[in-house]
Structure formats: C-alpha cells, structure tokens
Amino acid sequence: MNTGQWLGLFTGVVFGFLMQKARVLRFEKQVGAMLLKDMTIFKFMLSAILVGMVGILLLSNLGIITLGHKSMNVGAVVIGGGLFGAGWAIMGFCPGTSLGALGEGRWHALFAIAGMVIGAAFYAELYPVFKTTVLAWKDFGKIGLPETLGVSQWVIVSIFWAGVIALFFWFEKKKL
C-alpha cells in the first residue's frame, strides 16, 4: 500500500471508532433523527462541523490547505439531495455509516452496501442522460457562502456557532 492508502486507512479507523462510540452508526439513530425523536446524529455532526469549520477556514486563510467546494449545480443538488433523503430513510444508513454498522455487527447493512454499489453503477450508466438533463439546468460552480453573500466568513461562523449552540440547548431541554 502507498502512503495515501495507509493515511486513508488510519483516518478511517479513527473516524469509525468515534462514530461507533457516539452510537451514530445505528439504524435507530439515523431513522430516529428522521422521525424527530432522537437528535444524536445531529449533536454529533454539528459538533464536528463547529470545531472543523474554525480550523479549516483558518488553515485555508493561511494558505496551508485549499478548500474544495462541491459545485452548486441546482438540479443535481436539489433532485439528488431529495433522492438521497428518500433512500436514506428506507435504508437507515448513509454511505459512511453503512460500513461502520457492518463493523459493529449490524449485518443487514450488507444489503444496503450492495444496493449502494449497484446504485453507483446505475448512476455511471445513466450519467450521459443526466448530463444533458438534470445536470444541465443551472450550475453556479464551486462557490462558498462568504463570497456569495458578500459577508466575512467569521461573521457567518459566529452566527452559525450561536445558532447551533442554541439548538443544542433546545435538544437537551426537550430530551431529544
């Protein structure tokens, strides 16, 4: 294995370890969030975002890393996002957590993983069709919120932090 593969494996082991410890890999936690009964996955994800956001934006400002936005292609993100949501609710896993769920013994995740590999093959087959339809509607390109809104990134980060912390207090108050 090359350096990149080893680095990926090591990063994945830590990532999987932490997701398992937070209990976010499970079907009940994922569907529980979608049934608005258990917000564990949001406590986990938003905490990661709050911390990661500050470090990543700072390092990018210093020129140590480069940002890699995904394209704001309206049709792709809206239709694709919706399709993902529908499949996610039925499957009860997302691509990353499916492997983790398998790791903690939830072997029905195997069928979800198989479905996702087949889904990826379908997407690759259908790509020429999507390219001239859904993907061709309107693409704003790889854009970030600060330049789009014309607001400093630290203003956005501050508002995001305040909003998420308020949300956390609400989760705890409602015991979600």
Partner 1 sequence: MKWKTDDGGWSPYLAGALVGVLAIISVVATTQLMGKSSYLGASTTFVRAAGLLQETIAGDNGLINEYYTKTKIRIDWQFMLVIGIALGAFLSSTMDRSFRLESVPPIWKERFGSSWGKRAVWAFVGGIVAMIGARMASGCPSGHGLSGMMQLSVSSFVALPMFFGVGVWVAHVVYTRRKS
Helix (H, G, I), strand (E, B) or coil at 39: coil
Nearer Cβ to partner 1 (47/162): 47
CB of 171 to partner 1, least distance (A): 10
8-67 positions binding partner 1, by CB under 8 A: 8-28, 31-36, 40-41, 43-53, 55-57, 59-60, 64-67
When asked if residue 132 is in the footprint of partner 1 (CB under 8 A), the reply is: no
CA dist 83 and 89 (Å) reads 10
When asked if residue 162 is in the footprint of partner 1 (CB under 8 A), the reply is: no
> In the 8-state DSSP scheme, what is residue 117?
H
103-122 positions binding partner 1, by CB under 8 A: 103-109, 111-122
When asked if residue 136 is in the footprint of partner 1 (CB under 8 A), the reply is: no
CB of 63 to partner 1, least distance (A): 10
When asked if residue 138 is in the footprint of partner 1 (CB under 8 A), the reply is: no
CB of 54 to partner 1, least distance (A): 8
Crossing angle for the helix pair 95-103 and 3-21, to the nearest 10 degrees: 80
Both structure tokens of 66: 């480069």
Cα–Cα distances in Å, from 27 out to 90, 92, 137?
A: 10, 5, 35
Q: Are 131 and 124 in contact (CB under 8 A)?
A: no
